[in-house]
Chains A and B, each alone.
Chain A
Amino acid sequence: MAPAPTAPLGREIFRRLLLAFALATTIGIGLATWGFLTANKRAETLHQEASRNHYQAAISSLERRWGREANNLRVRLESMRHLEDPASGRDKVLAYLIAQGGNIEFPSLRIDDARGEPLVLYEHAGRRIPEARFAADQNTAWAWDPIQGRLYLVYRQLIWLGKENGHLVMFKPMDNALLTQLAYPDTRLTLWWGDRAFASSEGNPGLDALARGAVGAGTLEVPWPSTSGDPGPRLMVESTARPLMHPLDFVLPMAVGFLSLVAALWVTLGTWGRHILDRLRALERAVEGFLARRTIDADIRRDLTAENQREHDEIAELAVSVERLMDEVSAERAAAAAQSGSRHED
């Protein structure tokens, strides 16, 4: 009896199948991760590009609207000619502004005479009107009120007072409401003045989240264009949307894919390898049986023919050759035995 093989073919086939599966799995995970990261990165890049274009256009549109409204308000106030009446002009202008309620674009405004002395001060909710500094010929400026933590974009227009021009100074608050109106879904907007975030499209909870360091993915900075030479605030755009693809989106299809691969490997290679192994074992059994019994009996012939002669491959050829060899050896042995018997008779 031959010793048992140190590296049985069955184990070798299993080991190689496992290796093939591991390689396929590794390559599959690698490809999936690459696809996942690429898809999310591309989606983020596209989102940032779209956000930048959108908010640059939105800021520009807002400034055009406020500029138009600043001009319209000046024209309306001049056309009523209340300011030309020093006795009751102030009260009439205030009555006109009060009657607008909170519906005018500039909730705080001031009308100064040519020397900069205020003639009319209007604040619809009784807030403090901050100081705004303008250089000569400057029409817009930023005014930061450190007491209230508010930033205003201030517009200045010349306004006719009857005998001379004064200045109409209008304050547009840059507040949470402005950002809420500006934001689109899954985006958080924050306005920064220097290193301080002072307004958020999510209100105080948004500012609190920022203070806790909970910054969304794909943060983008859109500087507010300065029309006056002063540095303006910075608009931070954060995406609060979930990434285009979640890792779980890959787990299920990959699990199904791997199970299918295992099944396919087993069906195509595993069963075939097992069949080959069974045939080789039958051949081995036949040879072992022939060596032990020194004759080709029915069991040996079944092992040689039943499995191996069904298919016409190299193993079948080998089985035919082995059977022929055994037949020839058996015949030679029989002839030798017969010759030896006749010698004894002589």
Chain B
Amino acid sequence: MPPLRLLAILAALVLGITAAQAQQRQRITLVVPGPGAISYLPAELISRIGADRAEGVEVQVTYATGGATALADLLENNADFAVTGMPAAMSTQLKDPRLVALAPVNDLPLYVLLVRKGLQGEVRKVGDLRGRAIGFHSDSTATKTTSQQVLELMFRRGGLKPDSYRKVVVGRRWESESLMLKNGEADAVMSDEPHASRMVAEKIAFPLVHLGDPETARNFAGAGFLRGTLISRRDLVEKDPARAAVMVRILQRTLQWMAARPPEEIVAKLDIASADERAQLVALLRKYPRQYSADGKFSTRQLRETEIFFIDSQAGNQAAEAFRIESMVIDKWAGRKN
């Protein structure tokens, strides 16, 4: 056989095998609150930096309006994994004990209590929000989202009881959150970056409390709680532990990639058309360098702090007080540090 023909056959074979492998690549669905929430940025980066393909799978990220809806998607088989606030997962776990935590995504939580611009001067402290409409990302009787827990704790510290304000769902997307504040459907929202900075810049709202501020954080028990966490279901993990192991490796690969790169390079990987929004995100990543876990390993200290936060935010809930975070942590793939 002529050498060129042999070479062509070999090349066709190799290409055929590669194409077949690509077609057979296992698909993993990951649901996160968003899109565009800075806390869950690692999830959005996974396929953009090829962390999934490096592990031979394809991760498809879908979005939910909040932690509660993301966890509902996980529990109802619309997703294999979710990244949500650990306290939201703990709250769901009280009613449906199938959830397990596989790896941390965040290090420090960033929440901002924003008040609509029209109330500037009128609202100076949390107590001034009595009788107002307060926006949550999502609302469910089954799950208290992390932002809801943060807000309730913040309001209790400010002397506001849960029955002294009106709750309204504002969604998670920029369009919905900003619309609800602009037209006065919500007077304040527990928001997330980068929406918070953008709303301040566009004069839609002003910040009342920022958890990223170390002085503010000191006033709240467990303010360094674990927020974004890779969550799955115990039955799924037991049935296919390899899939869980791969997902943890993909997440750790992404976190390590982020830790080793400047904010500009991270933001360049995202499809953000507006130069202002890109610059804003770069500034936030630079301002809060400890937002993300650098290695994707659980920290015993942080888990303890999360438990303290959860119990404190759910004061009076006996099931929450009796709940132990370690009962839902599987750290055999992510690893553990102090």
Complex Cα gap A162–B173 (Å): 30
A175 within 8 A of B: yes
Q: How far is the CB of B173 from chain A (nearest CB, A)?
A: 5
CB of B13 within 8 A of chain A? no
- In the bound complex, do residue B65 and residue A205 qualify as a contact, i.e. CB atoms below 8 Å apart? no
Most chain-B Cβ atoms within 10 A of its Cβ — which of A88, A98, A175? A98
Chain A: interface size category: 20 to 34
0/1 string, B162-174, CB within 8 A of A gives 1: 0000001111010
Cα distance A125–B138 in the bound complex, in angstroms? 11
CA of A180 to CA of B236, assembled, Å: 14
Which residue among B80, B176, B182 has the maximum number of chain A CB atoms within 10 Å of its CB? B176
Q: Indicate if B69 sits at the interface (CB-CB under 8 A).
A: yes
Write out, one digit per residue, whether chain A residues 78-121 have a CB within 8 A of any chain B CB (1) or not (0): 00000000001001101100111110000000000000000000
A101 and B69: CB pair below 8 A?
yes
A203 within 8 A of B: yes
Contact of B168 among A91, A99, A176, A181 (CB under 8 A): A99
- With A102-B138, A124-B65, A126-B35 already in contact, the answer to whether A203 and B169 are too (CB < 8 A) is no
Q: How far is the CB of B57 from chain A (nearest CB, A)?
A: 11
Partner of B239, one of A95, A102, A181, A205: A205
Q: Which residues of A contact B79 (CB under 8 A)?
A: 203
Q: Which of these, A98, A101, A177, A200, contacts B73 with CB under 8 Å?
A: A177
User: Which residue of B34, B35, B179 contacts A98 across the interface (Cβ within 8 Å)?
Assistant: B179
Are B63 and A98 in touch, CB under 8 angstroms? no
**Residue from A100, A124, A126, A181 in contact with B76 in the complex, judged by beta carbons closer than 8 Å:** A181
Which residues of B lie under 8 Å from residue A99 when comparing CB positions? 168-170, 180, 185
> Counting CB contacts under 8 A, is B300 at the interface?
no
Collect the chain B residues with CB atoms within 8 Å of residue A202's CB: 77
Chain B residue numbers with a CB within 8 Å of A206 are: 77
Shortest C-beta distance, A146 to chain B (Å), equals 15
Alpha-carbon gap, A181 to B28, bound state (A): 21
A126 to B35, CA, bound (A): 8
Chain A residues, CB < 8 A from B140: 101
Report chain A residues within 8 Å CB of B69: 101-102, 125
Name A122's closest neighbour in chain B (CB-CB): B176
Tell me the complex Cα distance, A127–B140, Å.
21
Report B33-68 CB contacts with A as 1/0, cut-off 8 Å. 011000000000000000000000000001111100
B63 touches A95 (CB 8 A): no
Contact assessment for B236 and A205 in the assembled complex, using a CB-CB cutoff below 8 Å: yes
Whether a CB of chain B sits under 8 angstroms from the CB of A69 is no
Give Cα A176–Cα B74 distance, bound, in whole angstroms: 10
Residue with the greatest number of chain B CB neighbours at <10 A, chosen from A127, A179, A204, A205: A204
Residues of chain B within 8 A of A179, CB atoms compared: 77
- A206–B235 CA distance with the chains assembled, in angstroms: 13
Q: Complex: how many Å from CA A95 to CA B66?
A: 17
Please judge, given known A-B contacts A125-B63, A125-B69, A208-B26, whether A100 and B77 are in contact too, CB under 8 Å: no
How many angstroms between the C-alpha atoms of A208 and B29 in the bound complex? 12
Interface residue A201 (Cβ < 8 Å from any Cβ of B): yes
In the bound complex, residues from chain B placing their C-beta under 8 Å from that of A92 are: 183
Report if A126-B179 is in contact (Cβ < 8 Å); known contacts: A102-B69, A180-B77.
Answer: no
Given known contacts A125-B64, A125-B65, A203-B77, A101 and B183 CB-to-CB distance under 8 angstroms: no
- B170 & A98 in contact (Cβ 8 Å cutoff): yes
CA gap between A313 and B28 in the complex, in Å: 85
Contacting residues of chain A (136-182) with chain B, CB-CB under 8 angstroms: 175-177, 179-181
User: Which of the listed residues A125, A127, A201, A202 has the most CB atoms from chain B within 10 Å of its own CB?
Assistant: A125
Distance (Å) between the CB of B54 and the closest chain A CB? 20
Cα separation A127 to B168 with both chains bound (whole Å): 22
Chain A residues near B80: list those with CB within 8 A. Answer: 203-205
Measured in the bound complex, the distance between the Cα atoms of B62 and A176 in whole Å is 13
- Write out, one digit per residue, whether chain B residues 203-234 have a CB within 8 A of any chain A CB (1) or not (0): 00000000000000000000000000000000
Complexed CA–CA distance, A127 and B34 (Å) = 11
Q: Render A212-228 as a binary contact track against B, CB cut-off 8 A, 1 for contact.
A: 00000000000000000
A127 to B170, CA, bound (A): 17
Given contacts A175-B78, A180-B77, contact A204 B139 (CB under 8 A): no
- Kindly state the separation between the CA atoms of A91 and B178 in the bound complex, as whole angstroms: 11
The reply to whether A95 and B139 contact each other, CB–CB distance below 8 Å, is no
With A102-B72, A204-B29, A205-B239 already in contact, the answer to whether A95 and B183 are too (CB < 8 A) is: yes
CA distance A50 to B170 in the complex (A): 44
Chain B contacts for A94, CB-based, 8 A: 176, 179
Cα A227 to Cα B183 in complex, Å, equals 40
Interface residues of A in 224-248 (CB under 8 A from B): none
User: Is B271 interfacial (CB 8 A cutoff)?
Assistant: no
* In contact, A180 and B239 (Cβ under 8 angstroms): no
Roughly how many angstroms separate A99 CA and B139 CA in the complex, as a whole number? 9
Contact with A along B150-192 (1 / 0, CB 8 A): 0000000000000000001111010010011011010000000
User: Among the listed A98, A181, A200, which residue makes an inter-chain contact with B169, where contact means beta carbons less than 8 Å apart?
Assistant: A98
Closest residue of A by beta carbon distance from B184: A95
Please report the C-alpha to C-alpha distance between residue A91 and residue B183 in the assembled complex, in whole angstroms: 8
**CB-based contact A176/B240 at 8 Å:** no
Cα-based distance from A88 to B185 in the complex (angstroms): 13
Nearest to A207 among chain B residues (CB) is B27
Tell whether, in the assembled complex, residue A98 and residue B78 are in contact, meaning their CB atoms are under 8 Å apart. no
A94 to B170, CA, bound (A): 10
The listed residue (B78, B139, B185) touching A101 by CB distance below 8 A is: B139
B185 contact set on A, CB distance < 8 A? 95, 98-99
Q: What are 26 A-B residue pairs whose CB atoms fall within 8 Å in the complex?
A: A95-B179, A95-B185, A98-B185, A99-B169, A99-B180, A101-B66, A101-B138, A101-B139, A101-B140, A125-B62, A176-B76, A176-B77, A176-B78, A177-B72, A180-B76, A180-B77, A203-B77, A203-B78, A203-B79, A203-B80, A204-B80, A205-B80, A205-B239, A205-B240, A206-B77, A208-B26
The 10 closest A-B pairs by CB, nearest first: A203-B77, A177-B76, A176-B77, A101-B169, A102-B69, A180-B77, A95-B185, A98-B176, A177-B78, A98-B171
Given pairs A176-B76, A203-B236, 4 additional interface contacts (CB within 8 A): A175-B78, A200-B77, A203-B80, A205-B236
| A residues at B contact (CB < 8 Å) | 88, 91-92, 94-95, 98-102, 124-127, 175-177, 179-181, 200-206, 208
